[in-house]
Amino acid sequence: MQYKQFGKNGPMVSRLGFGCMRLPTLGEGDALRCDDEKAIPILERAYQLGINFFDTAWGYSNRDNQRLVGKAVRPFRDKIYLSSKLPPSEIQQPGDFRRKLEHSLRLMDTDYLDFYHMHALNAQKWEYAQKMQMDKDMLQARDEGLIRHVSFSFHDAPQVMANIASCGIFDTLLCQYNLIDQSNEQVMAKLAGQGMGIMVMGPIAGGLISGGGEQFRALYDTPAKTAQELALRFVLSYDAVSLALSGMQSIEMLEENVALAEKAFSVTPQERESYKAANDKLRQLSDLYCSGCAYCNVCPKNIKPQQHFRAYNRAKVWGLTSAAKKEYFDNHLDQEAETCLNCGACAQECPQKIAIPQKLAEIRDYFQQI
């Protein structure tokens, strides 16, 4: 396993971190629980293979994931970094943050957390978190040694990520980054340059890239044998990234990912450049290039054009047609496109000069026909 410093003042973390969300469970609905018998050996094996970063969250596995992870890492707790997350929505009144943090510490049978995240921030949740003084409470918990690093995980437009980070309280962040979604790349580089630790989730885009198989891999000039290996090579070779979280559900999957990650550490700058060049070329083949900047999110109908363009590009540029179609219809983007007033307010904001209302209609027709 390779290790890298997590931000300017952070510890040396394994380049592959264990995202615990998808560990095996038992039962369904309210009765869903972690399957200790299956999950604990996977986490033990991860530690043996050199993984020293384990990430859980308040809500995972019907709120049973923190307990399981704490139990699994107990024998080697002081040799690893434990990370968890709390969504701002869990705080309704003063004192809630502290109560929930203490509850998590008890559940995980530990005196401190190495990394504690505001979970899944977007612009609204960040505003709410500040209103509920979650930022101040986190800093106090850090001063008292209950948490060692203040962090946030993120799902929104890149400039929102930059705005949140600019408040100056965060040591690290967790965001999306992969071969087919590089919208956060520039902001990640800037923040890493300022000393913030950057951890990424979704290195294989939730299975989309591995689902693309040989057809996807062949788009790139790469020594990688599979699309999954290519995806890890791309993510781990980006300077700004300290580690990538991967959710592994079995020992076989874990061992396979660790082996692929090992090979990814040998990516040369030339290989990295070739991936970027291939991406640029692929995008030119598309008839639109949306960077995902979200400047167009001014719509009176609350349409987010970048979601439509992302699905479209996944199909047209990377050939991930069935996954893109599923994404488009699962998110009811066809119905959303129907509500467009053709007012043009979004297009006026677009730095790529995309004729957004026309494109939304074209994309709807495209997905309805394929």
Of residues 2 and 297, the one with the C-beta less far from ligand SF4:
297
Distance between CA 305 and CA 276 in Å, rounded? 24
Collapse the DSSP code of 128 into the 3-class scheme (helix H, G, I; strand E, B; otherwise coil) and give the result.
helix
Shortest reach from residue 94's CB to ligand SF4, in Å: 38
Shortest reach from residue 290's CB to ligand SF4, in Å: 3
Yes or no: say if 78 and 110 are a contact pair by the CB < 8 Å rule.
no
Residue owning tokens 């530690």? 47
Shortest reach from residue 294's CB to ligand SF4, in Å: 5
Residue 160 lies near ligand SF4 (rule: CB under 6 A): no
CB half-sphere exposure, 53, CA atoms < 13 A:
25
Of residues 95 and 344, the one with the C-beta less far from ligand SF4:
344
Of the residues 12, 218, 277, 341, which one makes contact with ligand SF4 according to CB under 6 A:
341
Please state, in angstroms and as integers, the Cα–Cα distance from residue 41 to each residue in 14, 47, 55, 250, following that order.
19, 10, 16, 9
Question: Per CB under 6 A, which of residues 310..339 are in contact with ligand SF4?
Answer: none
Of the residues 105, 113, 164, 340, which one makes contact with ligand SF4 according to CB under 6 A:
340
Strand partners of residue 178: 181
Region of 348 on the Ramachandran plot (φ > 0 left; ψ -120 to 50 alpha; else beta): alpha
Question: Per CB under 6 A, which of residues 67..96 are in contact with ligand SF4?
Answer: none
Q: 3-state secondary structure string, 274-339?
A: HHHHHHHHHHHHCCCCCCCCCCCCCCCCCCCHHHHHHHHHHHHCCCCHHHHHHHHHHCCHHHHHHC
Shortest reach from residue 174's CB to ligand SF4, in Å: 22
Of 292, 302, 311, the residue nearest 350 (C-alpha): 292
The site map against ligand SF4 for 272-311 (x = CB under 6 A) is ------------------xxxxxxx--xxx-x-xx--x--
Distance between CA 40 and CA 216 in Å, rounded? 34
Of residues 73 and 324, the one with the C-beta less far from ligand SF4:
324
Shortest reach from residue 156's CB to ligand SF4, in Å: 12
Shortest reach from residue 152's CB to ligand SF4, in Å: 22
Distance between CA 193 and CA 179 in Å, rounded? 21
The single-letter code of the amino acid at 235 is V
Shortest reach from residue 346's CB to ligand SF4, in Å: 3
Q: Which pair of tokens denotes residue 187?
A: 């902001």
Q: 3-state secondary structure string, 47-70?
A: HHCCCCEEECCCCHHHHCHHHHHH
Mutual angle of helices 208-217 and 321-330, in 10-degree steps: 150
Residue 196 lies near ligand SF4 (rule: CB under 6 A): no
The site map against ligand SF4 for 345-364 (x = CB under 6 A) is xx--xx-x-x-xx-------
Residue 208 lies near ligand SF4 (rule: CB under 6 A): no
Of residues 70 and 158, the one with the C-beta less far from ligand SF4:
158
Of residues 109 and 287, the one with the C-beta less far from ligand SF4:
287
Shortest reach from residue 62's CB to ligand SF4, in Å: 35
Q: Which residues contact 326 (CB under 8 A, 6 or more apart)?
A: none
Shortest reach from residue 295's CB to ligand SF4, in Å: 4
Of the residues 124, 280, 344, 365, which one makes contact with ligand SF4 according to CB under 6 A:
344
Of residues 247 and 305, the one with the C-beta less far from ligand SF4:
305
| Contact residues: ligand SF4, CB under 6 A | 290-296, 299-301, 303, 305-306, 309, 340-346, 349-350, 352, 354, 356-357
